[in-house]
Structure 1
Protein backbone atom coordinates (compact mmCIF):
# COMPACT_ATOMS: atom_id res chain seq x y z
CA UNK A 1 0.00 0.00 0.00
CA UNK A 2 1.30 3.45 -0.90
CA UNK A 3 2.11 5.87 1.94
CA UNK A 4 -0.63 8.30 0.80
CA UNK A 5 -3.24 5.53 0.84
CA UNK A 6 -2.01 4.30 4.21
CA UNK A 7 -2.30 7.77 5.74
CA UNK A 8 -5.70 8.53 4.22
CA UNK A 9 -7.04 5.20 5.48
CA UNK A 10 -5.90 5.98 9.04
CA UNK A 11 -7.21 9.55 8.90
CA UNK A 12 -10.61 8.25 7.79
CA UNK A 13 -10.79 6.38 11.10
CA UNK A 14 -10.17 9.54 13.13
CA UNK A 15 -13.30 11.13 14.54
CA UNK A 16 -14.33 14.47 12.99
CA UNK A 17 -13.42 17.46 15.15
CA UNK A 18 -10.45 15.78 16.82
CA UNK A 19 -6.77 16.62 16.56
CA UNK A 20 -3.90 14.28 15.74
CA UNK A 21 -0.14 14.17 15.18
CA UNK A 22 2.12 12.28 12.81
CA UNK A 23 2.87 9.82 15.63
CA UNK A 24 -0.77 8.67 15.63
CA UNK A 25 -0.53 7.64 11.99
CA UNK A 26 1.96 4.79 12.58
CA UNK A 27 4.47 6.24 10.14
CA UNK A 28 7.90 4.64 9.87
CA UNK A 29 10.90 7.03 10.01
CA UNK A 30 11.75 6.26 6.38
CA UNK A 31 8.19 7.19 5.37
CA UNK A 32 8.15 10.71 6.82
CA UNK A 33 9.19 12.52 3.65
CA UNK A 34 6.40 10.90 1.61
CA UNK A 35 3.98 11.26 4.54
CA UNK A 36 4.61 15.01 4.74
CA UNK A 37 3.74 15.43 1.07
CA UNK A 38 0.61 13.28 1.49
CA UNK A 39 -0.51 15.38 4.47
CA UNK A 40 0.02 18.60 2.49
CA UNK A 41 -2.16 17.26 -0.34
CA UNK A 42 -4.93 16.40 2.13
CA UNK A 43 -4.71 19.94 3.56
CA UNK A 44 -5.00 21.40 0.05
CA UNK A 45 -8.14 19.30 -0.53
CA UNK A 46 -9.63 20.53 2.76
CA UNK A 47 -9.86 17.00 4.17
CA UNK A 48 -7.74 18.03 7.15
CA UNK A 49 -6.57 21.36 8.59
CA UNK A 50 -3.33 22.35 10.27
CA UNK A 51 -3.51 23.54 13.89
CA UNK A 52 0.22 24.14 14.30
CA UNK A 53 3.46 22.50 13.19
CA UNK A 54 2.88 18.75 13.21
CA UNK A 55 -0.65 19.02 14.61
CA UNK A 56 -3.77 18.62 12.46
CA UNK A 57 -7.53 18.09 12.77
CA UNK A 58 -10.42 16.75 10.77
CA UNK A 59 -13.01 19.51 10.41
CA UNK A 60 -16.52 18.61 11.48
CA UNK A 61 -19.24 19.49 8.97
CA UNK A 62 -22.69 20.54 10.22
CA UNK A 63 -25.78 22.12 8.69
CA UNK A 64 -24.36 25.43 9.92
CA UNK A 65 -21.03 24.88 8.19
CA UNK A 66 -17.62 23.73 9.31
CA UNK A 67 -16.91 23.60 13.05
CA UNK A 68 -13.45 23.98 14.51
CA UNK A 69 -12.49 21.73 17.43
CA UNK A 70 -13.15 23.06 20.93
CA UNK A 71 -10.31 24.77 22.79
CA UNK A 72 -9.53 21.71 24.89
CA UNK A 73 -9.33 19.52 21.81
CA UNK A 74 -6.94 21.96 20.12
CA UNK A 75 -4.78 21.92 23.24
CA UNK A 76 -4.86 18.13 23.62
CA UNK A 77 -1.64 17.57 21.69
CA UNK A 78 0.19 19.80 24.18
CA UNK A 79 -1.15 17.89 27.18
CA UNK A 80 0.25 14.53 26.08
CA UNK A 81 3.72 13.28 25.23
CA UNK A 82 4.19 9.87 23.61
CA UNK A 83 0.50 9.20 24.31
CA UNK A 84 1.01 9.84 28.04
CA UNK A 85 -0.62 12.78 29.79
CA UNK A 86 1.92 15.23 31.16
CA UNK A 87 -0.24 18.31 31.69
CA UNK A 88 -3.75 19.63 32.31
CA UNK A 89 -5.66 22.89 31.96
CA UNK A 90 -6.04 24.89 35.15
CA UNK A 91 -6.81 28.45 36.27
CA UNK A 92 -9.91 30.47 35.41
CA UNK A 93 -10.64 28.44 32.26
CA UNK A 94 -10.92 25.31 34.41
CA UNK A 95 -12.99 27.06 37.07
CA UNK A 96 -15.37 28.29 34.39
CA UNK A 97 -15.80 24.72 33.17
CA UNK A 98 -16.42 23.59 36.76
CA UNK A 99 -19.18 26.19 37.12
CA UNK A 100 -17.30 28.24 39.73
CA UNK A 101 -17.12 31.42 37.62
CA UNK A 102 -18.77 32.88 34.53
CA UNK A 103 -15.60 34.63 33.42
CA UNK A 104 -13.61 33.34 30.44
CA UNK A 105 -9.89 34.18 30.50
CA UNK A 106 -7.90 35.48 27.55
CA UNK A 107 -5.01 33.20 28.44
CA UNK A 108 -5.27 29.57 29.51
CA UNK A 109 -2.95 28.13 32.17
CA UNK A 110 -1.37 24.75 31.49
CA UNK A 111 0.04 22.86 34.47
CA UNK A 112 2.87 20.35 34.13
CA UNK A 113 5.45 19.03 36.57
CA UNK A 114 8.61 19.09 34.48
CA UNK A 115 7.73 20.81 31.20
CA UNK A 116 6.99 24.48 30.55
CA UNK A 117 4.19 24.46 27.98
CA UNK A 118 3.50 27.66 26.05
CA UNK A 119 0.77 27.60 23.41
CA UNK A 120 -0.25 29.94 20.62
CA UNK A 121 -2.88 28.35 18.40
CA UNK A 122 -5.12 30.82 16.58
CA UNK A 123 -6.84 32.87 19.27
CA UNK A 124 -5.80 30.44 22.00
CA UNK A 125 -2.91 31.49 24.21
CA UNK A 126 -1.56 29.21 26.91
CA UNK A 127 1.02 29.95 29.61
CA UNK A 128 2.83 27.40 31.77
CA UNK A 129 2.42 26.85 35.51
CA UNK A 130 4.10 24.16 37.58
CA UNK A 131 1.97 21.33 38.93
CA UNK A 132 2.53 20.11 42.49
CA UNK A 133 2.83 16.45 41.50
CA UNK A 134 3.50 14.47 38.33
CA UNK A 135 0.45 14.62 36.05
CA UNK A 136 -1.16 11.41 34.79
CA UNK A 137 -4.46 10.32 33.29
CA UNK A 138 -5.29 8.81 36.67
CA UNK A 139 -4.85 11.96 38.74
CA UNK A 140 -5.32 15.09 36.61
CA UNK A 141 -9.03 15.41 37.47
CA UNK A 142 -8.13 15.21 41.18
CA UNK A 143 -5.51 17.93 40.72
CA UNK A 144 -8.22 20.10 39.12
CA UNK A 145 -10.22 19.89 42.36
CA UNK A 146 -7.17 20.67 44.49
CA UNK A 147 -6.33 23.66 42.27
CA UNK A 148 -9.84 25.01 42.80
CA UNK A 149 -9.31 24.75 46.58
CA UNK A 150 -5.91 26.42 46.27
CA UNK A 151 -7.27 29.37 44.28
CA UNK A 152 -10.67 29.53 45.99
CA UNK A 153 -10.21 33.06 47.31
CA UNK A 154 -8.98 34.32 43.92
CA UNK A 155 -11.63 32.81 41.64
CA UNK A 156 -13.44 35.80 40.05
CA UNK A 157 -17.17 36.23 40.70
CA UNK A 158 -17.25 33.12 42.87
CA UNK A 159 -20.34 32.54 44.99
CA UNK A 160 -18.71 30.82 47.97
CA UNK A 161 -21.83 28.93 49.04
CA UNK A 162 -22.41 27.56 45.54
CA UNK A 163 -18.70 26.81 45.19
CA UNK A 164 -18.76 24.60 48.29
CA UNK A 165 -21.69 22.64 46.86
CA UNK A 166 -20.06 22.23 43.44
CA UNK A 167 -16.75 20.96 44.82
CA UNK A 168 -18.47 18.79 47.45
CA UNK A 169 -20.51 17.11 44.71
CA UNK A 170 -17.34 16.34 42.79
CA UNK A 171 -15.78 14.81 45.89
CA UNK A 172 -18.92 12.75 46.57
CA UNK A 173 -18.55 11.15 43.14
CA UNK A 174 -15.07 9.81 43.98
CA UNK A 175 -14.67 6.21 45.06
CA UNK A 176 -12.60 5.06 48.06
CA UNK A 177 -9.44 4.62 46.00
CA UNK A 178 -9.79 8.09 44.47
CA UNK A 179 -10.39 9.65 47.90
CA UNK A 180 -7.13 8.14 49.15
CA UNK A 181 -5.39 9.33 46.00
CA UNK A 182 -6.60 12.93 46.30
CA UNK A 183 -5.47 12.98 49.93
CA UNK A 184 -2.03 11.73 48.88
CA UNK A 185 -1.83 14.42 46.18
CA UNK A 186 -2.99 17.11 48.63
CA UNK A 187 0.01 16.44 50.86
CA UNK A 188 2.14 18.15 48.19
CA UNK A 189 -0.13 21.23 48.17
CA UNK A 190 -0.01 24.22 50.56
CA UNK A 191 -1.42 23.66 54.10
CA UNK A 192 -4.56 25.71 53.41
CA UNK A 193 -5.53 23.27 50.64
CA UNK A 194 -5.05 20.27 52.95
CA UNK A 195 -7.21 21.93 55.61
CA UNK A 196 -9.93 22.83 53.10
CA UNK A 197 -9.97 19.30 51.65
CA UNK A 198 -10.12 17.82 55.15
CA UNK A 199 -13.09 19.99 56.11
CA UNK A 200 -14.98 19.07 52.92
CA UNK A 201 -14.29 15.34 53.21
CA UNK A 202 -15.23 15.30 56.90
CA UNK A 203 -18.51 17.02 56.05
CA UNK A 204 -19.21 14.42 53.35
CA UNK A 205 -18.33 11.33 55.37
CA UNK A 206 -16.89 11.28 58.89
CA UNK A 207 -15.62 7.72 58.36
CA UNK A 208 -13.00 8.83 55.80
CA UNK A 209 -9.46 8.41 57.15
CA UNK A 210 -8.21 11.98 57.42
CA UNK A 211 -5.27 11.55 59.79
CA UNK A 212 -2.66 12.04 57.04
CA UNK A 213 -4.11 15.50 56.41
CA UNK A 214 -4.46 16.31 60.13
CA UNK A 215 -0.88 15.28 60.92
CA UNK A 216 0.48 17.38 58.05
CA UNK A 217 -0.94 20.62 59.51
CA UNK A 218 0.44 22.91 62.18
CA UNK A 219 -2.25 22.96 64.92
CA UNK A 220 -1.49 26.63 65.60
CA UNK A 221 -2.01 27.78 62.00
CA UNK A 222 -5.28 29.31 60.80
CA UNK A 223 -6.62 29.45 57.25
CA UNK A 224 -8.81 32.37 56.28
CA UNK A 225 -11.14 31.54 53.39
CA UNK A 226 -14.06 33.74 54.43
CA UNK A 227 -16.35 30.71 54.70
CA UNK A 228 -19.01 30.64 57.41
CA UNK A 229 -19.60 27.72 59.75
CA UNK A 230 -23.18 27.66 58.47
CA UNK A 231 -21.91 26.95 54.96
CA UNK A 232 -19.33 24.37 56.05
CA UNK A 233 -19.84 23.26 59.69
CA UNK A 234 -16.55 21.33 59.85
CA UNK A 235 -14.30 24.36 59.30
CA UNK A 236 -13.64 24.79 63.04
CA UNK A 237 -12.11 21.31 63.17
CA UNK A 238 -9.56 22.43 60.59
CA UNK A 239 -8.75 25.93 61.89
CA UNK A 240 -10.55 27.53 58.96
CA UNK A 241 -12.62 30.68 59.00
Structure 2
Protein backbone atom coordinates (compact mmCIF):
# COMPACT_ATOMS: atom_id res chain seq x y z
CA UNK A 1 0.00 0.00 0.00
CA UNK A 2 1.34 3.45 -0.89
CA UNK A 3 2.26 6.04 1.73
CA UNK A 4 -0.50 8.37 0.49
CA UNK A 5 -3.16 5.67 0.78
CA UNK A 6 -2.04 4.67 4.28
CA UNK A 7 -2.14 8.29 5.42
CA UNK A 8 -5.59 8.76 3.92
CA UNK A 9 -6.86 5.70 5.78
CA UNK A 10 -5.19 6.82 9.01
CA UNK A 11 -6.76 10.28 8.81
CA UNK A 12 -10.13 8.68 8.05
CA UNK A 13 -9.87 6.75 11.31
CA UNK A 14 -9.46 9.95 13.36
CA UNK A 15 -12.49 11.47 15.04
CA UNK A 16 -13.59 14.85 13.78
CA UNK A 17 -11.84 17.63 15.69
CA UNK A 18 -8.72 15.52 16.27
CA UNK A 19 -5.32 17.21 15.99
CA UNK A 20 -2.26 15.30 14.83
CA UNK A 21 1.37 15.53 13.75
CA UNK A 22 3.36 13.47 11.28
CA UNK A 23 4.60 11.14 14.02
CA UNK A 24 1.03 10.00 14.62
CA UNK A 25 0.60 8.81 11.05
CA UNK A 26 2.66 5.64 11.46
CA UNK A 27 5.24 6.50 8.81
CA UNK A 28 9.00 5.96 8.60
CA UNK A 29 11.48 8.82 8.30
CA UNK A 30 12.07 7.83 4.68
CA UNK A 31 8.39 8.49 3.92
CA UNK A 32 8.20 12.11 5.10
CA UNK A 33 8.56 13.53 1.60
CA UNK A 34 5.64 11.47 0.33
CA UNK A 35 3.70 12.17 3.53
CA UNK A 36 4.06 15.93 3.07
CA UNK A 37 2.62 15.71 -0.43
CA UNK A 38 -0.20 13.45 0.74
CA UNK A 39 -1.16 15.87 3.54
CA UNK A 40 -1.09 18.82 1.12
CA UNK A 41 -3.53 16.98 -1.15
CA UNK A 42 -5.84 16.29 1.78
CA UNK A 43 -5.64 19.98 2.77
CA UNK A 44 -6.56 21.06 -0.76
CA UNK A 45 -9.62 18.79 -0.59
CA UNK A 46 -10.67 20.17 2.81
CA UNK A 47 -10.22 16.79 4.51
CA UNK A 48 -7.44 18.18 6.70
CA UNK A 49 -6.58 21.69 7.87
CA UNK A 50 -3.28 23.12 9.05
CA UNK A 51 -3.02 24.82 12.45
CA UNK A 52 0.69 25.57 12.32
CA UNK A 53 3.82 24.07 10.79
CA UNK A 54 3.62 20.30 11.20
CA UNK A 55 0.35 20.44 13.15
CA UNK A 56 -2.97 19.55 11.50
CA UNK A 57 -6.53 18.67 12.37
CA UNK A 58 -9.48 16.84 10.91
CA UNK A 59 -12.25 19.46 10.93
CA UNK A 60 -15.60 18.81 12.53
CA UNK A 61 -18.43 19.64 10.17
CA UNK A 62 -21.43 21.71 11.27
CA UNK A 63 -24.26 23.71 9.69
CA UNK A 64 -22.10 26.80 10.14
CA UNK A 65 -19.00 25.33 8.51
CA UNK A 66 -15.91 23.61 9.83
CA UNK A 67 -15.32 23.87 13.58
CA UNK A 68 -11.85 24.33 15.03
CA UNK A 69 -10.49 21.88 17.60
CA UNK A 70 -11.16 22.62 21.27
CA UNK A 71 -8.39 23.61 23.66
CA UNK A 72 -7.84 20.03 24.81
CA UNK A 73 -7.17 18.90 21.25
CA UNK A 74 -4.93 21.88 20.52
CA UNK A 75 -2.76 21.00 23.50
CA UNK A 76 -2.75 17.23 22.94
CA UNK A 77 0.18 17.13 20.45
CA UNK A 78 2.36 18.86 23.03
CA UNK A 79 1.26 16.65 25.91
CA UNK A 80 1.79 13.27 24.28
CA UNK A 81 4.45 11.43 22.31
CA UNK A 82 2.47 8.76 20.55
CA UNK A 83 0.31 7.28 23.29
CA UNK A 84 2.69 8.29 26.08
CA UNK A 85 1.82 11.25 28.31
CA UNK A 86 4.83 13.58 28.60
CA UNK A 87 3.30 16.84 29.93
CA UNK A 88 0.41 18.22 31.95
CA UNK A 89 -1.23 21.60 32.49
CA UNK A 90 0.10 23.53 35.47
CA UNK A 91 0.21 27.17 36.58
CA UNK A 92 -2.82 29.46 36.69
CA UNK A 93 -4.94 27.23 34.43
CA UNK A 94 -4.55 24.38 36.91
CA UNK A 95 -5.03 26.51 40.01
CA UNK A 96 -8.16 28.08 38.52
CA UNK A 97 -9.56 24.61 37.82
CA UNK A 98 -8.69 23.55 41.39
CA UNK A 99 -10.64 26.51 42.76
CA UNK A 100 -7.54 28.19 44.22
CA UNK A 101 -7.80 31.38 42.14
CA UNK A 102 -10.45 33.20 40.15
CA UNK A 103 -7.93 34.57 37.66
CA UNK A 104 -8.09 33.21 34.13
CA UNK A 105 -4.63 33.02 32.52
CA UNK A 106 -3.68 34.47 29.16
CA UNK A 107 -1.09 31.73 28.65
CA UNK A 108 -1.20 27.96 29.08
CA UNK A 109 1.72 26.51 31.02
CA UNK A 110 2.72 22.87 30.52
CA UNK A 111 5.04 20.99 32.86
CA UNK A 112 7.31 18.70 30.87
CA UNK A 113 10.65 16.99 31.30
CA UNK A 114 11.39 15.98 27.73
CA UNK A 115 11.19 19.20 25.73
CA UNK A 116 10.80 22.95 25.98
CA UNK A 117 7.67 24.43 24.43
CA UNK A 118 7.14 28.06 23.49
CA UNK A 119 4.59 28.49 20.74
CA UNK A 120 1.30 30.06 19.75
CA UNK A 121 -1.47 28.10 18.09
CA UNK A 122 -4.83 29.56 17.18
CA UNK A 123 -4.31 32.54 19.55
CA UNK A 124 -3.39 30.17 22.37
CA UNK A 125 0.01 30.98 23.88
CA UNK A 126 1.75 27.89 25.21
CA UNK A 127 4.92 27.76 27.25
CA UNK A 128 6.52 25.06 29.35
CA UNK A 129 8.33 24.68 32.63
CA UNK A 130 10.46 21.76 33.71
CA UNK A 131 8.57 19.19 35.75
CA UNK A 132 10.12 17.74 38.89
CA UNK A 133 8.92 14.24 37.98
CA UNK A 134 8.49 12.60 34.59
CA UNK A 135 4.73 12.94 33.94
CA UNK A 136 2.62 9.96 32.95
CA UNK A 137 -1.07 9.17 32.90
CA UNK A 138 -0.97 7.65 36.39
CA UNK A 139 0.84 10.39 38.32
CA UNK A 140 -0.71 13.63 37.01
CA UNK A 141 -3.12 13.91 39.96
CA UNK A 142 -0.25 13.80 42.46
CA UNK A 143 1.89 16.28 40.54
CA UNK A 144 -1.02 18.73 40.34
CA UNK A 145 -1.37 18.72 44.13
CA UNK A 146 2.39 19.15 44.61
CA UNK A 147 2.56 21.98 42.07
CA UNK A 148 -0.20 23.83 43.93
CA UNK A 149 1.75 23.45 47.17
CA UNK A 150 4.96 24.59 45.44
CA UNK A 151 3.33 27.75 44.09
CA UNK A 152 1.13 28.35 47.14
CA UNK A 153 2.65 31.76 47.92
CA UNK A 154 2.50 32.90 44.28
CA UNK A 155 -1.10 32.03 43.43
CA UNK A 156 -2.95 35.35 42.89
CA UNK A 157 -5.99 36.31 45.03
CA UNK A 158 -5.51 33.16 47.10
CA UNK A 159 -7.91 32.67 50.00
CA UNK A 160 -5.70 30.76 52.46
CA UNK A 161 -8.53 29.09 54.39
CA UNK A 162 -10.18 27.95 51.16
CA UNK A 163 -6.88 26.81 49.64
CA UNK A 164 -5.93 24.74 52.69
CA UNK A 165 -9.40 23.20 52.68
CA UNK A 166 -9.22 22.39 48.96
CA UNK A 167 -5.82 20.71 49.30
CA UNK A 168 -6.85 18.78 52.40
CA UNK A 169 -9.96 17.51 50.65
CA UNK A 170 -7.94 16.25 47.67
CA UNK A 171 -5.44 14.54 49.95
CA UNK A 172 -8.15 13.04 52.15
CA UNK A 173 -9.88 11.52 49.11
CA UNK A 174 -6.73 9.57 48.17
CA UNK A 175 -6.40 5.93 49.11
CA UNK A 176 -3.58 4.94 51.48
CA UNK A 177 -1.61 3.61 48.51
CA UNK A 178 -2.05 6.82 46.55
CA UNK A 179 -1.22 8.93 49.60
CA UNK A 180 2.08 7.08 49.89
CA UNK A 181 2.73 7.72 46.20
CA UNK A 182 2.10 11.41 46.78
CA UNK A 183 4.71 11.40 49.55
CA UNK A 184 7.21 9.56 47.34
CA UNK A 185 6.80 12.09 44.51
CA UNK A 186 7.08 14.94 47.03
CA UNK A 187 10.61 13.83 47.84
CA UNK A 188 11.63 15.09 44.39
CA UNK A 189 10.18 18.56 45.08
CA UNK A 190 11.80 21.44 47.04
CA UNK A 191 11.89 21.20 50.87
CA UNK A 192 9.12 23.79 51.33
CA UNK A 193 6.75 21.49 49.41
CA UNK A 194 7.61 18.54 51.63
CA UNK A 195 7.11 20.67 54.74
CA UNK A 196 3.67 21.96 53.79
CA UNK A 197 2.58 18.53 52.57
CA UNK A 198 3.71 17.09 55.91
CA UNK A 199 1.66 19.69 57.76
CA UNK A 200 -1.40 18.97 55.61
CA UNK A 201 -1.06 15.23 56.18
CA UNK A 202 -0.47 15.40 59.93
CA UNK A 203 -3.37 17.82 60.33
CA UNK A 204 -5.51 14.96 59.07
CA UNK A 205 -3.61 12.51 61.33
CA UNK A 206 -1.98 10.58 58.52
CA UNK A 207 1.05 9.50 60.54
CA UNK A 208 2.76 7.90 57.53
CA UNK A 209 3.84 11.42 56.58
CA UNK A 210 6.37 11.62 59.39
CA UNK A 211 9.20 9.19 58.53
CA UNK A 212 9.88 9.95 54.87
CA UNK A 213 9.03 13.65 54.87
CA UNK A 214 10.50 14.54 58.27
CA UNK A 215 13.75 12.74 57.57
CA UNK A 216 14.12 14.52 54.23
CA UNK A 217 14.10 17.98 55.86
CA UNK A 218 16.81 19.90 57.66
CA UNK A 219 15.50 20.34 61.23
CA UNK A 220 17.16 23.76 61.41
CA UNK A 221 15.46 25.12 58.29
CA UNK A 222 12.22 27.10 58.26
CA UNK A 223 9.76 27.64 55.42
CA UNK A 224 7.91 30.88 54.82
CA UNK A 225 4.29 30.53 53.75
CA UNK A 226 2.83 33.44 55.66
CA UNK A 227 0.43 33.08 58.56
CA UNK A 228 -1.10 29.62 58.26
CA UNK A 229 -1.64 29.06 61.98
CA UNK A 230 -5.39 29.72 61.99
CA UNK A 231 -5.90 27.55 58.88
CA UNK A 232 -3.38 24.80 59.58
CA UNK A 233 -2.61 24.15 63.24
CA UNK A 234 0.24 21.72 62.45
CA UNK A 235 2.22 24.27 60.41
CA UNK A 236 4.58 25.13 63.26
CA UNK A 237 5.43 21.46 63.78
CA UNK A 238 6.99 21.54 60.30
CA UNK A 239 8.89 24.82 60.85
CA UNK A 240 6.45 26.73 58.65
CA UNK A 241 6.42 30.41 59.51
Match of 2:220 in 1: 220
Deviation at 1:186, TM superposition (A): 1.2
1:200 aligns with 2:200: yes
CA RMSD, 1 decimal: 2.4
How many Å separate the matches in 2 of 1:64 and 1:97?
Answer: 30
SS class of match (1:148): helix
Farther off after superposition, 211-220 or 7-16: 7-16
198-207 vs 179-188, which moves further: 198-207
Q: How does 1:28-107 map to 2 (within 5 A)?
A: 28-62=28-62, 66-107=66-107
Matches within 5 A, 1:80-159: 80-159=80-159
Distance 1:206 1:67, change over 3 A: same
What is the CA distance between 1:65 and its match in structure 2?
5.3
C-alpha separation between the residues in 1 aligned to 2:236 and 2:61?
A: 55
| 76-85 or 117-126: bigger deviation | 76-85
Name the CA shift for 1:50/1:227 in 2 (closer, same or farther; >3 Å): farther
Change (3 A) 1:126 1:38: same
3-state secondary structure, aligned to 2:234: helix
Q: Secondary structure in 2 aligned to 1:156?
A: coil
Change (3 A) 1:188 1:30: closer
Say if 1:31 and 1:129 are closer, same or farther in 2 by CA, change over 3 A.
closer
TM-score by length of 2: 0.86
Question: In structure 1, what is the Cα distance between the partners aligned to 2:141 and 2:134?
Answer: 13
Assess if the C-alpha contact under 8 Å between 2:201 and 2:209 holds in 1.
no
Say which is worse superposed, 111-120 or 145-154, in terms of deviation. Answer: 111-120
Deviation at 1:66, TM superposition (A): 4.0
Kindly state the Cα deviation for residue 44 of structure 1 after the two structures are TM-superposed: 2.3
1:167 corresponds in structure 2 to 167
Per the TM alignment, residue 205 of structure 1 is displaced from its structure 2 partner at its CA by 4.3
Q: Does structure 1 conserve the Cα–Cα contact (< 8 Å) formed by 2:4 and 2:34?
A: yes
Gaps of 5+ in 1: none
CA distance in 2, matches of 1:169, 1:64: 43
C-alpha displacement of 1:29: 4.1
* C-alpha deviation, 1:2, in angstroms: 4.5
CA contact (8 A) 2:112 2:130 kept: yes
Q: Gaps (5+ residues) in structure 2?
A: none
Q: Give the number of equivalent residue pairs.
A: 241
For the 8 Å contact 2:198–2:209, the answer to whether it is kept is: no
Separation (CA, whole Å) in 2 of partners of 1:83 and 1:218: 40
What displacement does 1:194 show? 0.6
